[in-house]
């Protein structure tokens, strides 16, 4: 008759493939484990990458804060320039005060 073979595939969290086969009529069982270590990172390499990412995250936060502070200052200076040019507000300032503000911004 026709052989009845039960094949089972199982892949674990590490990517290891376990294959088992059983011939139901003859009662013969066999197993094989297939691992693929090529191209995988070692635990040490993964830990180093995580540490580097944490280090760069802190550096990136510092850069972000500096950029935000610079942008805030530039916006403030821009608004001050426009404020003293505004006839309603600028008219209330003396020429000396306007000049001081223009020099500062």
Q: Per-residue pLDDT tens for 47-92?
A: 899 999 988 898 898 999 999 999 999 999 999 888 888 888 777 8
Q: Which residues pair with 17 in a beta bridge?
A: 11, 34
Residue 1, pLDDT score: 65
Say yes or no to pLDDT of 100 above 70.
yes
Distant-in-sequence, close-in-space partners of 93: CB < 8 Å, separation ≥ 6: 84, 101
Nearest Cα to Cα of residue 33 among 44, 42, 20, 43: 20
Residues in the chain: 105
Residue 31, pLDDT score: 95
Q: Show the tokens assigned to 1.
A: 């008759």
Residue 46, pLDDT score: 83
Residue 7, pLDDT score: 92
Using CA atoms, how far apart are residues 91 and 103, in angstroms rounded to an integer?
Answer: 18
Average pLDDT, the chain: 87
How far CA 81 is from CA of 70, 91, 101, in Å, comes to: 17, 14, 8
Place of tokens 């990172």: 41
CB 41 within 8 A of CB 60: no
Higher pLDDT, 9 or 46: 9
């Amino acid at each position: 008759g026709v052989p009845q073979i039960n094949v089972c595939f199982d892949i674990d969290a590490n990517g290891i493939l376990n294959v088992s086969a059983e011939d139901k009529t003859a009662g013969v069982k066999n197993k094989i484990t297939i691992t693929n270590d090529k191209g995988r990172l070692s635990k040490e390499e993964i830990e180093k990458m995580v540490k580097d990412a944490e280090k760069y995250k802190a550096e990136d936060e510092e850069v972000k804060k500096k950029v935000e502070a610079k942008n805030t200052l530039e916006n403030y200076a821009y608004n001050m320039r426009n404020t003293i040019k505004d006839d309603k507000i600028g008219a209330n300032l003396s020429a000396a005060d306007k000049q001081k503000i223009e020099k500062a911004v």
